[in-house]
Homo-oligomer: A and B are copies of this chain.
Amino acid sequence: MRTEKTLETPSGPYHHGNLRLALVEQGLVLLESSPQGEFSLRELARQVGVSANAAYRHFANKEALLVALAAEGFRRLQAAQVQAAMTVASLKEGFRQAGRAYVRFAQDNPALFRLMFGGLLSNHPSEELSQAAHAAFGTLQTSVAQLLGLDEADHRVTVSAMSAWSVVHGLSHLVLDGQLEHHGHQADALIDEVLARFESV
């Protein structure tokens, strides 16, 4: 996490890698705060305190930035799940906690979540994004294999992993769309109850 101080130093020199990180970090903030994601690379550069040209050296256009934001999203989602799973002793409970972390990630980062799953993977092939998405899915696949005591390559692991992913993914979308509240449910309580059943992958 970058500090406020760094972002508040408009004239400060950024090393190449640092500026990219700063643009991604502030890009994530802009994404969540602008309705329909309407912001420009120029605006982002201004907020980070560099020239538009400096920003363009890292991202050829806004699409390229969005792809980088989505990739960072997959890395953070994966990290949040791994961290949540580590807080408990049993594999089963860890799996449930990871599922809860998935839904919480969607709740906390709705615009980023929609971006990550909004067709970028198919429409804008990128090595970075593809790797980040694969790594996130790989973590799930590994957990399911451990839970079931099967080899990761076993087809049953794939089907179980996809089922588990579908549950948390569907739940996340329904929560973001306000469907749970619409049907008169207390979202948080119901999320926990659905996930309690979800241990039995």
Copies of this subunit: 2
Assess the B183–A137 pair: CB atoms within 8 A. yes
Known: A168-B170, A170-B171, A173-B170. A180 touches B197 (CB 8 A): no
Contacts of A117 in B (CB 8 A): 173-174, 177, 179
User: In the complex, are the beta carbons of A163 and B194 less than 8 A apart?
Assistant: yes
Residues in chain B near residue A119, CB distance under 8 A: 176-178
Which residues in B have their C-beta under 8 angstroms from that of A178? 119, 121-122
Partner among B158, B171, B172, B182 whose Cβ is within 8 Å of the Cβ of A185: B158
Question: Does A134 make an interface contact (CB < 8 A)?
Answer: yes
Does A51 belong to the interface (CB within 8 Å)? no
Among A137, A166, A179, A185, residue most surrounded by chain B Cβ atoms (within 10 Å): A166
Give a binary string over A164-201; 1 marks a CB under 8 Å from any B CB, 0 the rest: 01111111111011111111010000100110011000
- Please encode chain A, from 122 to 144, with 1 for each CB lying within 8 Å of some chain B CB and 0 for all others: 10000000100110010000000
Chain B residues within 8 Å of A122, by CB: 177-178, 181-182
Known: A167-B170, A170-B168. A118 touches B177 (CB 8 A): yes
| Chain A residues in the interface with B (C-beta under 8 A) | 117-119, 121-122, 130, 133-134, 137, 158-160, 162-163, 165-174, 176-183, 185, 190, 193-194, 197-198
